[in-house]
Amino acid sequence: MSDCLFCKIAAGEIPSDKVYENDDVLAFNDINPQAPVHILVIPKTHIDSVGEVTPENSHIAARCLEAVAEIAREKDLKNGFRLISNCGEDAGQTVKHMHFHILAGIPLDEKVK
């Protein structure tokens, strides 16, 4: 996706504050953090959102979740964390490249909106 912000970040064309990387996944600090720990986990392959996961590409989503667990271990998020993936307009998805927000470091509000 030539004009996708997160594809450009994954390709290193736009800098990010990287916290984790492997062949399939990149994770970096959110530019506008909503908690003391706010990390975005993205696949290097473009998928619009969680709503576009299929049996053919679900391994990509699985790689992201494996990375989430690895980051939680590396960052020692023993007190827990919240994982969010906004999908579509009503959820407020602003970047149309599937990503998972890891929020941690403070007790999080129970509200969903």
Per CB under 6 A, which of residues 10..49 are in contact with ligand AMP?
16, 28, 30-32, 40
Active-site choice (38, 59, 99, 101):
99
Instruction: Evaluate whether 43 touches 22 at the Cβ level (below 8 Å).
Output: no
* Residue 99 annotated among the catalytic residues of the structure: yes
Mask of contacts with Zn ion, 17-56, x by CB under 5 A? Answer: -----------------------------x----------
Angstrom distances, CA of residue 94 to CA of 5, 11, 99:
10, 19, 11
- Contact segment (CB under 6 A) with ligand AMP among 18-26, 75-83, 92-100, 104-112 equals 92-100
Rounded Cα distance, 101 and 113, in Å: 15
Q: What is the CA radius of gyration of the chain?
A: 14
- The set of catalytic residues is 99
